[in-house]
Structure formats: C-alpha cells, structure tokens
Amino acid sequence: MACSVTFEKLITFLRMHLVFACCWPLPPTATKMQITYDKFFRLFNGLHSMLMICAVTYRIISQYDNILVIMQLGCVLGTLCEVPLQIYLFMQQYDRLQNVILKMENYSKHANPTERDVIQEYINKYIVIYGMMLILMTVTLVALILVPLVLAHPVLELEYPFSIDYQPMKGIIYLHQSFALYQVYAQVCATVFLALLLWFSTARFEILANKFRMATEHSDWKACIREHQELLRFAKQVTLSISHVTLSSLGVSTITVIFSGLTFLGQFPMFVKMQYSIVCCSSLAKVFLCTWPADHLMSMSSYVGDAAYNSSWYEHGVATQKIMLYTLFRAQRPVIVSVPGLVAALSLQHYASYVSMAFSYLTSFRAILSTDVD
C-alpha cells in the first residue's frame, strides 16, 4: 500500500478528508465566490460547535452538584472546545499556510528523481502508522455514532431548555450530536496535516544534507548555501503556522486526559469507561504523532551542519571555507516548534514531560474528588 501512495495522492486525500477541519486553505487562484463560500463554511462549523458547547455547559450547570456527571462532561466539553478554537487558529494562519502549501506543492512538481525518492521514502516509512491512526479514529467515530442507535439512547446524555421527547426533534438532536462528534474527529485527524508539513520539512533537510555530502565544487556549495537559507525560511513559516495550533492541542489534550481518566476510574458503566479510555488514548496519540516529526525535524536540521562539515570543503580555497563556516554556525541552532514562554521546544522529551504532568494532575484530581464522591 505504501509504495502506491505518492506525495501528490497524499495531499489530495488529506485535502478532501480534512474538509470539516477547516485547516486546508484555498489556493491563491481561488475565485471570490470560493473564498466567500469557504468563510461561510468555516463560520457554520464554528457556530455549530459553539451550539454543542452551550448544550454541554447547560448540562453541567444543571448538574453542578453531581461530581461524576461533571467529570464525564468535562471531557466532552474539552474536546468540543478544540473545534472552534482550532478553526479560529487555522484562520489566523490562513495566508501563511497558503504560502507554505503552495511552496510544498511547487517543490513536489519540480523535484528531481533523487529528491522524489527521499520524499517517497518518508511516505513509505510513516504512512502505515498515520494510516492506522486514521482508521482507528474512523472506526471509533462510527461506533460512537451507531451504538446509540442500537441501544436506543442519545449519543450524549444532555439536557435542553425545551422538550426533545418527540419526533422529529429526537432525530434532529441525534444528527446534531453526531455531526459534533464528526467535527471533533476532523480536528483530531488534522494532526496528520500538521505532521505532513513537519515531515516534508524534515525530508527537505535530509535532501540538502545529501547535496552537501556530494558537493565538490565551489559553485555546488554556494547553491547548497542558498538552498539552506531558503529552507530555513520555509521551515520558520511552517513552525510559526502550526505552533499555536499545537499549543491548543496540548492544552485540550491535557484536559481530556484528566477528565477521561477520572471518568474511567469513576463509578460508571463499563461501556462508558471504554468510551472514555479510547478518548484518553486518542488524545495522547494525537499529541505524540505531532511531537514525533517535530523532534525529528529538530535533529535533521542540525544534521545538515554535520553533513556540511564532513564534506571536502577543506580541500578548497578560503572563499569556500568562509561560506561553509556560516552554515556550520547556523546549523547549531536547530529548527524547533515553540511558543515563547509556554513551549520551549516540541520534542519527545517535552512529550514525556507532558504525559507525566497530565497523569500527575489526574492523580491529584482523583485524590481530591474521591472524598467528595464517597
């Protein structure tokens, strides 16, 4: 399967699959009608998720003295809040993402066979993992939507300030809640879009490292230096465009892990515990699948300096050695995904700290709430 998936096919699939995530911008050639429709579509998705958030909040307020219900709905509220938040953040980065994607597609079109082989190698290496993630998320979504039909109860046990015990109101509520779950699913799957940008940037750094190792002439090194500067600007645009989205994902995932963990440890039916254990695992996996390429990008951007240093630059004149010196200095500062003051660098080490912190909060909340529940 991996060998038959090209970079162009992957982009086309993600663009179609993530329509409701509202993360993929229109091309610069889009007409005014398409731009207007895209803005209306984003607005509709944001307002729909806000309606669902209001319904969950109303349920929490009406059951403020029931800690078990609050724990359960706190997880739901956290995941729902991610929908309008990420739609807004993607909209804020619309122009930057549009520019990044345009450059990515243009590079793919004009890449030589060697460069395409490196990109294809990355696709073949990681597509199974991300494909399995999408499949598992899709199966979970279908189960969450279809199981309530079999058991004859709503998707979510919510209260409304009006009667819903008649048709077609029951059907409308069911469709409303099911679509809200699909929106959450789409935002979780948007992690693959973020990972694509990071893995593509990583692949380009590896391609550049190979060029540095093969450089033998002064003109070759100058071309590599120019490409390195261009690639650094591209990578900076990528990291800036996804940094705040990643931060929101970390925050929401922390809330989700805490409340889903409390729900799993609480006095709920086994079916409910299974649901929220899946939500907890999905939140941890979502963060990992974005942290993984960010960590790899950090390593590969530094590896370019190693490749340049191990080339035969010392056999040439002073001019070549001078331009190489700047590259060696610059490569000592790796490309990182960060949010100043909040996330120093998104890496596997940070992910380990994040998991430890989330479960520490979970343990603390469980110790505090267990007394109230008893």
Q: pLDDT tens digits for 90-107?
A: 999 999 999 999 999 999
Position 39 scores a pLDDT of 94
147 pLDDT more than 80:
no
In sequence order, the 6+-apart residues with CB closer than 8 A to the CB of 59 are: 69, 73, 157, 158, 159
Question: Mean pLDDT throughout 75-103?
Answer: 92
For residue 3, name the pLDDT band (cuts at 50, 70, 90).
Answer: low
374 pLDDT more than 60:
no
Question: Mean pLDDT throughout 302-323?
Answer: 76
Average pLDDT, the chain: 85
Q: For residue 296, give the nearest of 210, 205, 194 by alpha carbon.
A: 205
Position 1 scores a pLDDT of 42
Position 220 scores a pLDDT of 80
Question: Mean pLDDT throughout 336-340?
Answer: 86
Query: How many angstroms separate the CA atoms of 83 and 88, rounded?
Result: 9
In sequence order, the 6+-apart residues with CB closer than 8 A to the CB of 195 are: 130, 289, 290, 292, 293
Three-state DSSP class for residue 111: coil
**Cβ contact 126:84 at 8 Å:** no
For residue 75, name the pLDDT band (cuts at 50, 70, 90).
Answer: confident
What amino acid is encoded at 366 in this protein? Answer: R
The region of weakest confidence among 82-86, 229-233, 262-266 is: 262-266
Position 2 scores a pLDDT of 44
Which of 63-67, 111-115, 320-324 has maximum average pLDDT? 111-115
- Helical pair 113-151 and 7-17, crossing angle rounded to 10 deg: 30
Higher pLDDT, 172 or 271: 172
Cis preceding-peptide flag for 168 (omega within 30 of 0): yes
Q: For residue 238, give the nearest of 302, 195, 208 by alpha carbon.
A: 195
186 pLDDT more than 60:
yes
The region of weakest confidence among 47-56, 127-136, 142-151 is: 142-151
Percent of the chain with pLDDT over 70: 93
Higher pLDDT, 45 or 373: 45
351 pLDDT more than 60:
yes
Position 350 scores a pLDDT of 85
Higher pLDDT, 354 or 196: 196
- Helical pair 218-265 and 318-331, crossing angle rounded to 10 deg: 10
Q: For residue 339, give the nearest of 217, 245, 218, 264 by alpha carbon.
A: 245
Percent of the chain with pLDDT over 90: 38
Position 12 scores a pLDDT of 92
Position 70 scores a pLDDT of 78
Position 292 scores a pLDDT of 93
